[in-house]
């Protein structure tokens, strides 16, 4: 029998519990990292009848990390863009904020992975009822 996954640290659970339902911050700074599209897509995935919660949550993490990469890219010194972080010599290195963003993405993922089971079940049931009502009305 496989061991159960360890719960997130108490500080992470406390942070997630402090956010009202549906009110977790979706961006980090004006014009910087914006998780809104990832959150919206995750919400939609939960509402697909027969969806796999684990697959929805994994796609969510992938989208969050992709947003970290998009928003916190570094650029070569010969292609400066205002607001971007220059990469190290020869294009090496990276934006030092990328690690913090990835940690936040992981926290969001762990939150939905561990705490959103009820929300997933509610969304699934609501969508099943909606489909049934639409099918009954089409007859």
**pLDDT confidence of residue 98:** 83
**DSSP result, the chain:** -PPPPPPPPHHHHHHHHHSPTT-S--EETTTTEE-HHHHHHHHHHHTSTT--HHHHHHHHHHHHHHHHHHHT-EE-TTS--TTPEEPSGGG-S--THHHHHHHHHHHHHHHHHHH-HHHHHHHHHHHHHHHHHHHHHT-
Per the structure, the complete domain to which residue 51 belongs is given by: 31-137
**pLDDT confidence of residue 89:** 47
Q: Is residue 41 part of a domain?
A: yes
**pLDDT confidence of residue 32:** 79
**pLDDT confidence of residue 137:** 82
Q: Is residue 82 part of a domain?
A: yes
pLDDT tens, residue order, the chain (139 aa): 445 554 444 444 444 444 455 555 665 554 578 999 999 999 999 999 999 999 999 999 999 999 998 888 766 656 555 556 666 544 445 677 888 889 999 999 999 999 999 999 999 999 999 999 998 887 6
Q: Is residue 101 part of a domain?
A: yes
Q: Is residue 24 part of a domain?
A: no
**pLDDT confidence of residue 52:** 97
Q: Is residue 111 part of a domain?
A: yes
Q: Is residue 23 part of a domain?
A: no
Q: Is residue 73 part of a domain?
A: yes
Q: What is the tally of structural domains in the chain?
A: 1
Q: Is residue 9 part of a domain?
A: no
């Amino acid at each position: 029998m496989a061991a159960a996954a360890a719960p997130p640290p108490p500080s992470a659970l406390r942070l997630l519990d402090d956010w009202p339902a549906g009110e977790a911050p979706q961006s980090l700074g004006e014009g910087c990292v914006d998780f809104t599209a990832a959150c919206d897509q995750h919400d939609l995935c939960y509402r697909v009848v027969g969806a796999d919660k684990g697959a929805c949550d994994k796609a969510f993490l992938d989208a969050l990390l992709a947003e970290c990469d998009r928003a916190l890219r570094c650029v070569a010194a010969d292609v400066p863009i205002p607001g971007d972080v220059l990469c190290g010599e020869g294009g090496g290195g990276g934006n030092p904020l990328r690690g913090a963003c990835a940690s936040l993405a992981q926290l969001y993922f762990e939150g939905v992975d561990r705490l959103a089971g009820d929300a997933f079940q509610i969304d699934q049931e609501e969508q099943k009822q909606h489909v049934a009502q639409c099918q009954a009305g089409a007859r």
